[in-house]
Structure 1
Amino acid sequence: MPGHHVDPWLPWYVNGTLGPRLRLRVERHLARCESCRRELRWWEAIRDAVVRQASAGPKTGIPPGSPLTARSPGSASERSWPVGTPRHPSPGPRTSRR
């Protein structure tokens, strides 16, 4: 790849999904191109940050016990609305303005 930068393939190089021939071409280019090595370090930093975030576990940002906490109402006795009543009432009748 003389004269051609390999930055379009760096995300796949970093995550190990390039085929062997293209991986070798990228590695040969990286050996002589500082610009692409800088770009590679940037992609590696992104990968490392994603791995750290994923290993920390999911975070919803919703405090425990908040009314926004997703949970199933469970049995009918746990529901906070009467059976047969819409949970979110529909808007009243539309009136036209003229």
Structure 2
Amino acid sequence: MESDEQITVTELRLTYRYIKDHSWVVTAINGFLSAYFMEQPSFRVQRHFDELESGMHVWICEVPGTMKMTTLLRRLQADIPPCRYTHVTTEPTVPPQYVIDSRESS
């Protein structure tokens, strides 16, 4: 199945602090992303791993050009404990990153 649709590789990151406060969220996000793929087949998770240096969980996703990552994040926020997400601006050679963290700052 070929498509001319533009795909952007994007990182979804979950902070160590948020995971520590809500350990079940990693499993919930895995389930949410799997369900999202069923709804939006052009969206895919390439890889999920635990980044040892930062303690973050990272999902490498293929996001179609017709989809807004912020829409996915708003829907995800309805299924997980209160959080905030930030779009981390990076170099053009680095995939866009969205970081989910606790609302309160430490």
TM-score range (shorter-chain normalised) is under 0.3
Greater fraction helix: 1
Structure of higher CA gyration radius: 1
TM-score by length of 1: 0.21
Greater fraction strand: 2
Higher relative contact order (CA 8 A, sep 6+): 2
